[in-house]
Structure 1
Amino acid sequence: MADDFMLEDDEDYEFEFEDDDDEMVEPDVDIENSYYNSKALKEDDAGAAVRSFLEIVDKCKSEKDEWAFKSLKQVLKIVFRTDQLDEMLKHYQKLLEFAEWPSITKNYAEKSIYNIVDYASSSTNAQFLERFYEITTHALHKLNNERLTLKTLMHVARFFLSQKNYVKFKSLLRQMHLLLSNENTAVTDQNRETHLLELYSLEIQMYSSLEDNKRLKELYQSSLRIKTAIPHPKIMGIIRECGGKMHMQEEQWSEAQTNFFESFKCYDEAGSMDRIRVLKYLVLSNMLCESEINPYDSPETQPYKENPHVFAMTKLVEAYQKRDIKEVEKVLHEHRQDIMEDEFIRQYVDKILYSIRSQVLLEMIQPYSTVQLSLLAEKLAVTTEIVEQSLIGLIMDRRIQGKLDMIHEIYVKQSPLTILSDELTKNTQKLWSDIAKN
């Protein structure tokens, strides 16, 4: 195991840090030998290593020597790794006190504490994490380090977000927005915008859960106005996914497809499994914008075509692009659980069916000047009511020029001139009717 507190959760946003302990400490041969002897015990006898490191702490703390700080960091790593979480909290509080010593530089203390926060955040024990973050935020007020405070609060915010504790989450948001205000000169403009994007991505996740579309739209637009940030790709994946969903709600299928593709690439770059979910959304939007291009034709998506998690959506888009209604319905039936388990996809399944029926209807009615709705329904294997609704939609969208004779249940193709004549007649009749009323 490396000396440094490294991230073990590949879903986290930060990257690994190098251990600079050895550069920090001035040589003291006896203490140094004890330190490295203690390190040698870590893998074989963790308990003995802890006792040995704590002996160094006891020897050095009276002189506020950095070897005490360095040894206590090693103790924290061992007790956390062996799940002695109460012990970790006890030693962590002591380490935070040591961080105020004159022998510990501000940069070294900041890097050490943040690495510990990173490391501890991989815990799945919610009770421990809440106490750990409480101790950390309390200590940060005394350390007066705004940069460390901001980075740590991001971790705490992610924790409360995962717990759906939105009251505490919103309180942290206010603190972080204050730290990122333009009046705070401790944060550079580029870092400010990078942190703002991360903050927006956290807010987007909360408001997505709360289904607050108005606030989501505001956050998405605010994020797009940021130009100089260099965010982690997962952050942009979250923001672009939000944009894709918003465009879907507004039935802007092409714009949604673009955003989902960008989101997929960002998640893929970050190594996040969220790429699978967004790939499904990309396939969904591809069908709804009636694209002739297979979504798996791009170099980025092609390797995932055979992925079992997207198999159902892959089969669906293949049937869709062949204009094979029966196959589309078969895929929806056979893979119903896989497709319908995603609430977002579920709300657009009817639109997929409407879209493919409309496209097939367009082809079917081309040879006819007049056609019975029952004939179209028979060919599509649907009810006449569904055919009627699809034709009305095509007429309203001006994709076909014709009218429905509801008495005789037929569709009648019309020329542009006939349509214009009918509209003039209708408008004239309305005008005379209005005059007669007056």
Structure 2
Amino acid sequence: MSDWDDDMYDDEEEELSFEEDDAQESVDESATDMESRYFWGKELRQDEKLEEALQVFQENIDKNDNPEYVFKSTKQAVKVSIELGDSAKIMRYLDLFFKQLPQMGVSYGDASFSKMLHRFDHPIPGCSSELQKQVYDKFSAYLRASNSSNERLVIRVELGRAGALLAEQNYSEAHLLLQRLENSVTASSEAIKSTYLLEVLALEMVIASHGEINVEELSRLTKMANKLGSSIPQSRIVGIVKECSGLVAMFDEDFQTANHCFQESFRGFNECGDDRRVDVLMKYIISNLLSESEIDPFQSGDFQGFDDVPEIVKLMELYRYVQETDIAKYNALLNDDEEFKKLMQGNLLAQFIPFVTELVHVRFVLEYLQLFKRVSFRKLQEKLKIQESDLEVMLLKLYGEGKISNYKLDMVAKTVEFCGGSVLDPHIRPIDVLERLQLFQKDKLNVSSDDFGTDSQERLQELLSTKFHKDPVPNSPTIHTELPSSTIISKEVLEPLISTPRSFESSEELFKELGHYLEYIKSAIPSKAPIKCSIIERVRIDSQNQEREKISQIDEIGNTDHDHLIPEVVQFTMMENLDVSDREQPAQEISEEELKDRKLTSLYELVCELSRYYDSVKRNFSEGLCANRNFGGEVSE
């Protein structure tokens, strides 16, 4: 709605609400002239002829023949003065407005007061914040003088005063005012609370997030704001609440939640054209990195048009180097780029750059270790440009998270070596632990080394059997039956593992204690961290899993009419369309006599065939013999 439409709507509402006796149909000539001048002034204002419009409205005010159009002209004069940015005229016409306001009816006066107050909700171009503070003081003074019972107007004026104090960066006074407002609104009706509490909390968030952030207070405010069910909050308020919610999530290292909050905050500020959208976009880029999101921040249409802002350009360089794991360019940007240093100086984001550095270092180490079987600490230090102690802490952290559980960290030789499996045999038993203790610390036992023999495992069983069984074990050496209990399993042998002041009376008790120690050691070995897959990789894996499920379902069905792995078009032939009646019918049963006759007939036919064959052979033989006798001469008749 344009200013012209807004003013026309105001006038229509004013005429409906104006409390005067409208029964008289006759209008004097003077009132008609004032009405004409009033609308002529509004038309001049629409044409942006502000000085001429103000002169027309002043003529109506000076004539003072019709209170209705005098009051309307005064309101228009205030609006024109605001557009001109003339502080003196704003204050003069505003004083006149408050002077005429008590002459209006209550409902019409409150509506005019509210609409005039709305004109000062935003900074006035060309006017100082001190002027706005004086304006709100006038509004507040009028409400006190008139003993207004309209709670909404009182809250709105106090919110305006708090905004003016924030514009002056008078945070201490603004904080006290907003605390009173929060208590007042919280104790009011649900309608008041749902309308104004969110805005009060948003202004308190601005104070809590200024300078050194009060995370505890910010967390309290964001929790209250997110629980409110405000129907349609302003875009600016949404931007403030979501930005502060993202900051709390960043300090809690919940970077995914922060990433989502900053995205919504940017959209809120962008809708109302607030300049804070650039600052929020910078936070969004850092949270996008730390959340390890695969989505490029500028793939969304909301962020297009900001890629040429100098601050955004620098942070996008940082983003690109991290995504490419280009450790050399990343270090150069942090240590040598003066523009980046200037950008981070005093910036809240500087507190989270160490998290980004750790992220790119971890990515580089994980990729670099895959290229070699053994890598020295010194080489990694040279690449990362960090101290040895920092590298050791990072490697131990990676090992504890299970990301390099198949690597051995040699803190003496200062190397990282690929070992292929776990550092501890998963099948190790308590008796194996005891055997190793006996072998590596046998000098603490009162048993000569020759008594252990070549097979330490078998010898250890004999030692345990001798000590912990009352009955002698067959074929067991007698030397061990005379040894005291402390020499077979001495406290000194177990002391590196188990701090115990006593000897064990049974093998079960000993193995139980060793089993607890073994479980403790196994629990300290991290399990291998799951491999993170990109979205494309996950889609491919899901597709393969679905194919495997289909094949397994086909195998469970068993024998089917068709093979589902072969296209249907090649599984059907014309043979399937043949009718059963066309196929060969089974032979009918015949009697024994008929079968005998058929056999005889077949036998007779066979004999006749053989006779004919015999005659044919005999004739051919005779003719051949005669031909041989006449060979070389003439053949006679």
Deviation at 1:264, TM superposition (A): 1.8
Q: Secondary structure at the match of 1:149?
A: helix
Compute the displacement of 1:155 (Å).
1.9
Give the TM-score normalised by the residue count of structure 1: 0.81
The DSSP-based 3-state class of the residue aligned with 2:498 is helix
User: SS where residue 21 of structure 1 aligns?
Assistant: helix
Mapped contact 1:292–1:321 kept (Cα < 8 A): no
Deviation, structure 1 residue 231: 0.5
- Measured against aligned partners, the alpha-carbon deviations of 1:143-183 in whole angstroms (never above 9, x if no partner) come to 43222222232222111112222343134324433552354
| Cross-structure match for 1:203 | 204
Given candidates 413, 418, 423, the residue that maps to 2:424 is 418
Say which of 368, 374, 382 aligns to 2:378: 374
Secondary structure of residue in 2 paired with 1:418: coil
CA deviation string 1:100-142 (max 9, x = no partner): 2245714532344224433675554133222221111111232
Moved more, 373-382 or 276-285: 373-382
* SS class of match (1:432): coil
Distance (whole Å) between structure 2 residues aligned to residue 435 and residue 151 of structure 1: 76
Cα distance in 2 for partners of 1:100, 1:331 equals 65
Kindly name which structure, 1 or 2, has the bigger radius of gyration based on alpha carbons: 2
Task: Describe the shift of the 1:304–1:91 C-alpha distance in structure 2 as closer, same or farther (beyond 3 A).
Answer: closer
Name the SS for the 1:204 alignment partner.
helix
Secondary structure (helix, strand or coil) at the match of 1:180 reads helix
Provide the TM-score with structure 2 as the length reference.
Answer: 0.58
2:367 aligns to what?
363
Aligned partner of residue 408 in structure 1, secondary structure? coil
Match for residue 524 of structure 2? none
Q: AA paired with 2:361?
A: R
Per-residue displacement from partner, 1:175-206 (whole Å, max 9, x unpaired)? 4335523543xx72xx6324222111111010
**Other structure's SS at 1:99 match:** helix
Deviates more, 1:388-397 or 1:247-256: 388-397
* 2:71 counterpart of 1:57: no
Give 3-state SS (helix, strand or coil) of 1:261's partner.
helix
Aligned to 2:344: 340
The equivalent of 2:161 in structure 1 is 156
**1:400 match: secondary structure:** coil
Residues in 1 aligned to 2:319 and 2:157: alpha-carbon distance in whole angstroms: 44
Q: 1:432 aligns with which of 460, 480, 498?
A: 498
Alpha-carbon shift at residue 409 of structure 1 (Å):
1.8
1:6-155 correspondence runs (5 A): 19-21=9-11, 23-25=13-15, 28-38=31-41, 46=51, 50=54, 53-60=57-64, 65-103=67-105, 105-118=108-121, 121-122=124-125, 124-141=127-144, 142=146, 143-155=148-160
**Kept after mapping to 1: 8 A contact 2:58/2:73:** yes
Query: Which amino acid is the alignment partner of residue 234 of structure 1?
Result: R
- Among 231, 235, 246, which residue is 1:233 paired with? 235
Aligned positions of 1:214-363 closer than 5 A? 214-332=216-334, 333-334=336-337, 335-337=339-341, 339-341=343-345, 343-363=347-367
Q: Deviations over 1:235-279 (max 9, x none)?
A: 111111111111111222222212112212222222223222212
Q: 1:219 to 1:280 in 2, by over 3 A?
A: same
1:325–1:357: 8 Å Cα contact kept in structure 2?
Answer: yes
Residue 587 of structure 2 corresponds to none
Deviations 1:369-425 (A, max 9, x none): 543211222344555444323213323444322564333222355644529899x98
Are the equivalent residues in 2 in contact too, given 1:395–1:403 (CA < 8 A)? no
Indicate the larger mover: 131-140 or 217-226: 131-140
Whole-angstrom CA distance in 1 between matches of 2:242 and 2:234: 13
5+ residue gaps, structure 1, are 7-15
Q: Aligned pair in 2 of structure 1 residues 36, 292: CA closer, same or farther (>3 Å)?
A: closer
**Gapped regions of structure 2 (runs ≥ 5):** 16-21, 434-493, 503-637
Give distance in 2, aligned partners of 1:106 and 1:336: 55
1:75 corresponds to which letter in structure 2? A
Q: CA 1:151–1:382 in structure 2 vs 1: closer, same or farther (change >3 Å)?
A: same
Moved more, 237-246 or 26-35: 26-35
- Render the CA deviation track for 1:12-53: whole Å, top value 9, x for unaligned: xxxx7765125524773122134345557766683x765653
Q: Secondary structure at the match of 1:100?
A: helix
Amino acid at match of 2:153: L
How far is the alpha carbon of 1:284 from its aligned partner?
0.8
Task: Report if aligned partners of 1:85, 1:128 keep a CA contact under 8 Å in 2.
Answer: yes
Say which structure, 1 or 2, has more relative contact order (CA 8 Å, 6+ apart): 1
Partner of 1:192: 193
Aligned match of 2:531: none
Distance 1:120 1:60 in 2: 32
Give the C-alpha shift of residue 344 in structure 1: 1.5
Residue 414 of structure 2: aligned partner: 409
